[in-house]
Structure 1
Amino acid sequence: MKKRLALIVMITGSCFIKAQIGINMSAPEAILHVDGQKNTAPAVPSSYYDDVVVTSSGNMGVGTKTPKTRLDLRSEEHLNALGLGGTSQTASAAKAGAMRYNSGTQDLSYSNGTAWVPLAHKAPNDFVDAENASVQSFTSGTQAAVTNWTKKTDVNGSFNSGTGTFVASKTGIYIVAFTFSLASGTIANDSRYETLIQTNSASSATNKVFKCVGSYPGTNTLSNRVAGNCSGIFNLNQGDQITVSLNQALGTAKTLDTDASLTSLSIFGL
């Protein structure tokens, strides 16, 4: 009797058992079928958006039960983005055909087995266009950054309108133009103002300040509107910042003009 049982075990152990495994579902439609939210309705393609399947041919589908490639992400809901991160591996270690994302240059590259080769692309250049109607006040003789801007255009979301700080999204050449206008008021004798465009970065080698000066020499008896501008070209690294400031020494506190179009800032990356 024992010999017969041993023989049965040996025979059944050598047989191939074909089965399907279902998780969160009782009727799997592939070798492995996972229903993420337990909401799959048979024959309703749109209900497979949260499913993961592995077919008998070795294909894997995410959001589809009929994957056509080794990995198929084409779901009915069209939330099919594929996330790629960076890697410290060399191209030879990752092997030919591997891909990675470069956060510094903001591009994808692939391994040819020897080197990482960037894919052809063109990320949008930074462009900021802003106006200011904040009526910000500037104390005479004190430099202060111009803040509380109203953005008209900000292509890459690089400009903080509240603080007036721009952060370069990539390394390159940037053209900056700043204009301002102060509300009418008295001007002290032999007075002046400075408009400043300055960069701030982790590397002091790239920090620069452009200053433009306007002066009112002699005796000033009339109430006047003071206006000025400043522009410059900067070589920035990714992450470098730009701010614009005003240092007026006209004798009394001054505020920006209420006409937003008279105080403006534009930053364009080449």
Structure 2
Amino acid sequence: MNKKLLLIISIFSSSLFFAQVGINTPNPQGMFHIDGARDNPKTGIPSIVQQSNDFTVAVNSGVGQGTISVGIGTTVPTERLDVVNGNVRIRDINNNVGLGSDRLLVADNNGVIKVAGGDAFSVNNSGNRILSATAGATLSADNDWNDNEFTTLKLDEQYDSMNAYNPLTGEFVVPKDGLYFMYGVCGFITPAEGSGSFDGTSGDAFTALVVDGGRVSTSHNVIYRGTKNPGMAASLFFLVTNSTLWLKAGQKVALQFLTFGTSNMVGSLSDLKIDKTSSKLIINKIL
């Protein structure tokens, strides 16, 4: 009989008997095992270094809902697909917009990919936006806030998927534990010219994100009386602040502003305003 045919029959018979196939190794560690560098021992378990160039299909009833798991760089996969010391890449991945039932994925400390929380991916607002609040009546320093006192900016809700924002109080009540990105903008209106001459007098303006009454991020700028205001000739300038925090359900988030030395900023307090159409509070739930 032809020697090649005998070899094929021998390999096939051996594979049926032991239910294992080894390529480049007489010592397969699974039902199918490729030793890429031919460096595995003839008996015993390969070392971690020796396993690093191996591909193994193993029978593992403890992984997932099936009995087969695949290891790349390991002969003892602990997940349905276990890749050691490497990344997973999908070329030409589909760029279609996801569905409302899609979930965000994260990797734990062991590199196991999991669903991040249980919240659906938002197809209407990127970044899982759960709040967009902006617009409302313009505020004036002569009637609507006090000097050196933080005031909550109450905005109209534009998008509030979890019904967690109260435009009457300006507070967002955190609906679920998680990692949140918060972005606040306060638009100040000052006279491009007039309301006193520039003489060096000024005041400080602040915008802050507040959680349960404590400021977690603040931005600041100086407003000069006369024509030396931020933005130079422009009558509107912005103070922007943001923060990313782990928050607990029930905590309250607000966007606040403060002016200190307000009377030094303008000749008439009615000339200093907060433009709500240029102000906003955006909150994204990341995880």
TM-score scaled to structure 2, two decimals? 0.44
TM-score scaled to structure 1, two decimals? 0.46
